[in-house]
């Protein structure tokens, strides 16, 4: 007696259908598992490639950031050195102006201007027509300036000197920043 003989005849087509459905379901489930395994492996490889690409991009960005930070630090050091240099120049100029101003105040230094050639001069050459008495200063006749006017002139020239030093500092700063931006510009 076989297994089929144990099933009543009216239920045999249903049993056969059930067996076929079970075989088909098992085959589908097996195929599903195999496909899941294959696609899962492919997705894992693809995710690994994406992770590696993202990691490489992040490492490149960090390297570029480190380079930029190094350039920025070098530029800051250079600009600081330029600032100190220009500050020293400005300080030295102020001291020189103060010494000159003090010399004018104590009459140790006198400012004078060269007078234009007048009637007592030969052809405006700066040599007097007649011999003068005493003095070791050669050249044209000079007139001393009033100390108050001399102080004002010293103040004006000091302002101009400070302005030129500040301009030089600004130009140095702009040149430094521009040179740094040119080194960083993409080709």
Burial 69-91 (b: 16+ CB within 10 A, else e): eeeeeebeebbeebeeebeebbe
Tell me if 114 sits within 8 A of 144, measured CB to CB. Answer: no
pLDDT digits (tens, 9 = 90+) for 175-186: 888 887 787 665
Where in the chain are the domains?
10-115+140-184
Q: Rounded to an integer, what distance in angstroms lies between the CA atom of residue 104 and that of residue 91?
A: 20
pLDDT digits (tens, 9 = 90+) for 10-59: 888 888 899 999 999 999 999 999 999 999 899 999 999 999 999 999 99
- Three-class secondary structure of residue 114 per DSSP: strand
pLDDT digits (tens, 9 = 90+) for 56-79: 999 999 999 999 899 889 888 988
C-alpha angle with apex 125: 119 to 127, nearest 5 degrees?
80
Tell me if 114 sits within 8 A of 139, measured CB to CB. Answer: yes
């Amino acid at each position: 007696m076989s297994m089929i003989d144990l099933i009543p005849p009216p239920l045999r087509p249903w049993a056969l259908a059930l067996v076929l459905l079970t075989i088909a379901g098992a085959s589908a489930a097996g195929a599903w598992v195999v496909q899941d395994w294959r696609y899962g492996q492919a997705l894992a490889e693809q995710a690994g490639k994406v992770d590696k690409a993202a990691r490489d991009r992040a490492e490149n960005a960090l390297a570029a950031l480190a380079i930029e930070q190094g350039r920025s630090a070098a530029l800051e050091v250079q600009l600081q050195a330029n600032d100190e240099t220009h500050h020293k120049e400005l300080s030295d100029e102020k001291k020189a102006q103060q010494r000159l101003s003090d010399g004018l105040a104590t009459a140790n230094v006198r400012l004078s201007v060269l007078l234009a050639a007048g009637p007592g001069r030969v052809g405006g050459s700066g040599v007097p027509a007649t011999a003068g008495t005493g003095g070791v200063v050669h050249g044209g006749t000079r007139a001393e300036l009033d100390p108050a006017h001399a102080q004002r002139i010293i103040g004006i020239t000091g302002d101009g000197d400070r302005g030129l030093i500040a301009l030089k500092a600004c130009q140095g700063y702009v040149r430094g920043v521009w040179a740094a931006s040119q080194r960083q510009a993409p080709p």
